[in-house]
Amino acid sequence: MNKIKVGVVGTGFIGPAHIEALRRLPNVEVAALCEVTAELAKEKADALGIARSYTFDELLKQDDIQAVHICTPNFLHYSQSKAALLAGKHVICEKPLAKDLAEAEELVELAAKTGLVNAVHFNLRYYPLARQMKSMREKGELGEIYSFIGSYLQDWLFYETDYNWRLEPDKSGDSRAIADIGSHLMDILEYITGLKTVAVLADFNTVHKTRKKPLKAVETYSGKLLQPEDYADVPINTEDHANVLLRFDNGNKGVITVSQVSAGRKNRMSLEISGSKKTFSWCSEAPNEMWIGNRDKANEILMRDPSLVNEDVRSTITFPGGHNEGFPDTSKQMFKEVYAAIAAGKQPENPTFPTFADGYRELLICERILESNKKEAWVTI
């Protein structure tokens, strides 16, 4: 087998998650790692068991590297994705695709012009029961959708001493909680329901208006604490918490809540979709079961099991029922579809995976949510 050689750019939290998922695909080899300096790249490559290390410009000169994963801070996504496409590499980019709509639109157009495979890492679509909800809705089992109630709650920025580059607008953009985890929620909403969000009304809250920035490096999710003299006070202008009312193209409504300051909620995305026939409810912290609500008979629990889900969902499941699959498996299942396209050499006409166009769509929604919060008014999309 001729394996597809991949270069991964960035080694924060998500870069190694990409690497682990890629290593589970039989036709892929993580051949190279890239970091901001040659020294750091070599250190990280050695730690992760990757033979070759480069700076970004050097990586793009490697003719045998066919695909590049952009796992860097948000402000680098546009320039690095553009450079990789121009170098003839297939690109898998972390979300958000860019910092503004103009950049995202340029990337969508460039990707289409090159014909190269392009994807945005909206991996949460790949929980099998998320696809099951989509499949059941497409088969008419949900009926007309009456409402969507969603939340994405975390606590990793609960304390004023919690700090990360995502708190700095020059690196992450003008929105934080909505752009970071709310983008996943908005993507999966439209993916499962088939609805389009046509207007939003947002209300943001910055709980910690000043945070204590560590003067020493602290890894994301590490739980490490420093001494008082190791911090500097920094004003915060992005949201810790957001509520958003939604209007859909079928005339019905929804609501989402996003928070990074909800104690005890480590990484909890919750969906409740009510239709004219049933209600679907699912939570990412218990991803292997789905609640199905009925009016005139007993409610049901569907367990993730390849023998119980719809036929078009089975490709997202590797293990038998009762053998739980979770967050790391979502990236593997997504990359499986992406690398089938890369093996074929071009972007499919109707991709099953999230593309740069999907990245543009979520950036558009997030920008309208941000505009709504500033205007304190409904904004159309």
| Residues known to be catalytic | 95
SS3 23: coil
Q: Output phi, psi for 91, to 5 deg.
A: -130, 130
3-state secondary structure 142-188: CCCEEEEEEEEECCCCCCCCCCCHHHCHHHHCCCCHHHHHHHHHHHH
- 3-class DSSP assignment, residue 58: helix
**Percent helix, percent strand, percent coil in the chain, to nearest 5:** 35, 25, 40
Instruction: Give the bridge partners for 53, in sequence order.
Output: 33
Question: What is the C-alpha separation between 381 and 366, in angstroms, rounded?
Answer: 10
Phi, psi of 245 (to 5 degrees): -85, 145
Angle formed by the axes of helices 101-114 and 77-86, nearest 10°: 20
Other beta carbons less than 10 A from residue 293's beta carbon: 14
Tell which phi-psi region holds residue 264, choosing left (phi > 0), alpha (psi between -120 and 50) or beta.
left
Tell me how far apart the alpha carbons of residues 132 and 126 are, in angstroms, rounded to a whole number: 10
**Cβ atoms of residues 339 and 331 within 8 Å:** no
- Say how many residues make up the chain: 381
For CA atoms 102, 90, 17, 56, give the dihedral sign. Answer: negative
Cβ atoms of residues 119 and 146 within 8 Å: no
Question: The dihedral of CA 364, 68, 343, 127: what is its sign?
Answer: negative
Neighbours of 47 (CB within 10 A): 11
Peptide bond into 96 cis (omega under 30): yes
Burial label, 191 (beta-carbon count in 10 A; 0-12, 13-18, 19+): middle
